[in-house]
């Protein structure tokens, strides 16, 4: 695979030397970046560099201005360009989210056009086939026959990635004085956008039960994309509201649950291994990190009311740790990230399980409990588990930094109960 990737790099260098770019150049770079993630992982410099090259080609071709409906360009070429543009925007936001870096293709400078929900055979077929297919579209460009095609998922991803970019601007940009209000507006926009998506494009567990595995996996990935943007927004709101913190934890646990669904269906492990590994790294690991931080925080503050299913989360984290081995192969893709997560999560889980399970104290016992804790501090008998695990572990600190998360949030003792709309 390394040699094949080097061949792609040589082809890229040859095109750069000649200064030749066209639609095929953009598609070539899009496929090369996918290949780079297989070889080196989603957080590699190769992926970031290629994303920069894609943005350069994108702007050089003038695609940031849209397809412009040039009469000299055939319809099929216009639609293929729209799909390339949509794919480029989606890749850009995925890459930026994963490595916590700014986007390359900003919506502020791009005209974003939705590709029509047409089958490939229609846009490359006869005029009669194209006319018949276009008559089958509704006013928003969705197919009336409710068939789920690759371009159908692409349309949903494009709608969601625009909101993802707004979220990343808040998360990665300079501190904003009205951050909570802005995050609340984006959250409402996200929910409104999801409601506008046709019902047949929304994930339903019944599809998996009915044996529609391929369809279920496509819709599951779209649902995860929506939930992960919601997760990012709640990380911004969690320090301002206890309710937002609870929603953050519930969303994080739901994402982990969805990613781990294939472990209950063994036949999926082989057919969709690449998709499962990617979902594990991109969605589940950041969410699992937040859940572990919350468990560590609750162990340090046992008097707090539990808002999450502690035993369920511990079971899911245990399964996730085992998936870091079974879903990855040494030397390929995100193997190193998985091994790093496995090490960090295992140590943290051991620390959590070696402590007494948090219980709700009776109010009459609280003064005596505080007196005992103060006495232990004076005598130097404070257990090492009760200390700040994250602050003492540089591996944890580096891990959270790579994910764009802040461990301090889950170690704060008190949070205001203000609620933002």
Which tens digits make up the pLDDT trace of 338-379?
Answer: 888 888 999 888 888 887 544 444 444 444 444 444 333 333
Interval 376-405 mean pLDDT: 56
- Specify if 129 maps to a domain: no
Does the pLDDT of residue 18 top 60, yes or no? Answer: yes
Does the pLDDT of residue 91 top 70, yes or no? Answer: yes
- Specify if 305 maps to a domain: yes
Q: What is the CA radius of gyration of the chain?
A: 24
Higher per-residue confidence, 5 vs 397: 5
Closest CA to 346 of 385, 325, 317: 317
Task: Judge contact between 289 and 403, C-beta under 8 A.
Answer: yes
Q: Residue 383's CB: how many other CB atoms inside 10 A?
A: 10
Higher per-residue confidence, 1 vs 63: 63
Secondary structure class of 417 (helix, strand, coil)? strand
Residues forming beta bridges with residue 137, ordered by sequence position: 143
pTM recorded for the entire structure: 0.85
Task: Judge contact between 336 and 396, C-beta under 8 A.
Answer: no
- Specify if 82 maps to a domain: no
Query: Using CA atoms, how far apart are residues 385 and 382, in angstroms rounded to an integer?
Result: 8
Which tens digits make up the pLDDT trace of 245-300?
Answer: 899 999 999 999 999 988 776 656 666 777 888 899 999 999 999 999 888 888 77
- Specify if 203 maps to a domain: no
- Specify if 346 maps to a domain: yes
Quote the number of domains for the chain. 1
Say what the pLDDT of residue 358 is.
46
- Specify if 87 maps to a domain: no
Say what the pLDDT of residue 269 is.
60
Does the pLDDT of residue 211 top 80, yes or no? Answer: no
Residue indicated by tokens 């501090």? 377
Q: Which of 186-190, 326-330, 340-344 has the highest mean pLDDT?
A: 186-190
- Specify if 314 maps to a domain: yes
Residues 6+ apart with CB under 8 A from 410: 290, 293, 294, 296, 297
Q: Could you give the percent of the chain with pLDDT greater than 70? A: 81
Interval 205-211 mean pLDDT: 56
Interval 67-94 mean pLDDT: 89
**17-26, 37-46, 143-152, 412-421: which range is least confident on average?**
412-421
Mean pLDDT of the chain: 82
Domain that holds residue 307: 251-358+385-421
Q: Which of 307-316, 359-368, 406-415 has the highest mean pLDDT?
A: 307-316
Interval 33-37 mean pLDDT: 88
Say what the pLDDT of residue 302 is.
63
Burial letters for 7-42: b for 16+ Cβ neighbours within 10 Å, e otherwise? ebeeebeebeeeeebeeebbebbbebbebbbbbbbb
- Specify if 153 maps to a domain: no
Say what the pLDDT of residue 286 is.
92
Interval 321-334 mean pLDDT: 80
Q: Could you give the percent of the chain with pLDDT greater than 90? A: 48
Say what the pLDDT of residue 413 is.
41
């Amino acid at each position: 695979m390394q040699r094949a990737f080097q061949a792609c790099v040589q082809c890229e260098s040859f095109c750069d030397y000649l200064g030749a770019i066209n639609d095929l150049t953009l598609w070539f770079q899009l496929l090369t970046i996918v290949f780079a993630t297989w070889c080196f992982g989603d957080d590699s410099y190769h992926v970031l560099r290629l994303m920069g090259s894609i943005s350069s080609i994108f702007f050089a071709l003038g695609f940031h201005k849209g397809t412009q409906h040039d009469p000299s360009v055939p319809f099929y070429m216009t639609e293929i360009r729209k799909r390339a543009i949509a794919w480029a925007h989606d890749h850009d936001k995925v890459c930026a989210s994963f490595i916590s870096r700014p986007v390359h293709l900003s919506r502020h400078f791009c005209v974003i056009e939705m590709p029509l929900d047409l089958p490939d055979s229609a846009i490359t077929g006869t005029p009669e086939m194209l006319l018949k297919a276009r008559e089958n579209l509704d006013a928003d460009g969705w197919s009336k026959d409710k068939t789920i095609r690759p371009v159908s998922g692409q349309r949903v991803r494009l709608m969601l990635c625009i909101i993802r970019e707004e979220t990343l601007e808040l998360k990665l940009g300079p501190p904003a004085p009205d951050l909570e209000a802005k995050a609340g507006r984006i959250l409402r926009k996200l929910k409104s956008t999801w409601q506008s998506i046709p019902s047949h494009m929304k994930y339903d567990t019944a599809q998996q039960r009915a044996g529609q595995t391929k369809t279920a996996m496509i819709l599951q990935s779209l649902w995860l994309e929506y939930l992960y943007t919601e997760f990012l927004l709640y990380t911004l709101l969690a320090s301002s509201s206890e309710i937002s913190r609870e929603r953050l934890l519930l969303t994080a646990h739901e994402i982990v649950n969805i990613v781990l669904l294939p472990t209950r269906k063994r036949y999926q492990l082989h057919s969709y291994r690449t998709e499962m590994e990617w979902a594990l790294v991109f969605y589940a690991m950041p969410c699992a990190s937040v859940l572990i931080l919350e468990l560590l925080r609750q162990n340090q503050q046992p008097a707090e009311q539990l808002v999450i299913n502690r035993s369920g989360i511990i079971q899911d984290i245990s399964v996730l740790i085992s998936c870091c081995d079974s879903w990855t192969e040494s030397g390929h893709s995100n193997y190193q990230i998985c091994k790093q997560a496995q090490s960090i999560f295992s140590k943290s889980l051991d620390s959590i399980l070696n402590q007494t399970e948090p219980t709700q104290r009776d109010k009459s016992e609280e003064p005596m409990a505080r007196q005992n804790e103060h006495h232990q501090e004076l005598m130097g008998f404070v257990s090492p588990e009760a200390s700040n695990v994250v602050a003492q572990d540089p591996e944890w600190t580096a891990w959270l930094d790579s994910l764009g998360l802040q461990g301090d949030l889950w170690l704060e003792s008190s949070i205001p109960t203000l609620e933002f709309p």
